[in-house]
Amino acid sequence: MEGDSGKVSPLMGEDEFKASCAKEMALLALMEKTGYNMVQENGQRKYGGPPPGWEGPPPPRGCEVFVGKIPRDMYEDKLVPLFERAGRIYEFRLMMEFSGENRGYAFVMYTNREAAQRAIQMLDNYEIRPGKFIGVCVSLDNCRLFVGSIPKEKRKDEIMEEMKKVYTPLPPHTHPTLRKHTHSIFLLIINNNMMFVTSQ
């Protein structure tokens, strides 16, 4: 470390190293407690899929929920126990940055549809930290797209103009009213082309 010791600074500071070790230990403890495996690939970290002792095909359509607005420094050791309250998890996929932070969203597949519906009822708009609320909705085959971290100064007309660069909007009268300033929206994508602003 730099300073009075005169030693060369390592790539990672001591505090960062300790925090990284604590995160790794928490994840290892979760896997040991539950018996689930965890692997990171293609920008996502998969927990489970299938869970220990699972036999047969994966759960049917309608068993997965999308989770948005997750604090970037929150991980499976906190999220999995929260989402297990709704039912048995088949697979938890947390989207990850190369930096090691999460991307602010995840997908949770339950072993049955009832648990997925319970998760939406229990955890949509749940205050996960003081002043931080997560969004939970059904995940349907990549038809719904979450757009988060929209700069506060962006107006609704500016947001719509940006979306039009990628998708053709449905008629304006079909869109719900956006607040003057919004920080996240959901888009319903139809035939990989048309869009409909659905919430936030």
Dihedral angle over CA of 27, 33, 39, 45, nearest 10: -50
Which of the two residues, 119 and 142, has the higher pLDDT score?
Answer: 119
Whether 177 shows a pLDDT value over 80: the answer reads no
Least confident window among 11-15, 136-140, 170-174: 170-174
Mean pLDDT taken over the chain: 79
Which residue type occupies 150? I
Whether 19 shows a pLDDT value over 60: the answer reads yes
Domains of the chain (ranges plus CATH)?
29-52+59-138 (3.30.70.330), 156-198 (no CATH)
> Looking at residues 17-32, what average pLDDT do you find?
80
Predicted TM-score (pTM) of this structure: 0.63
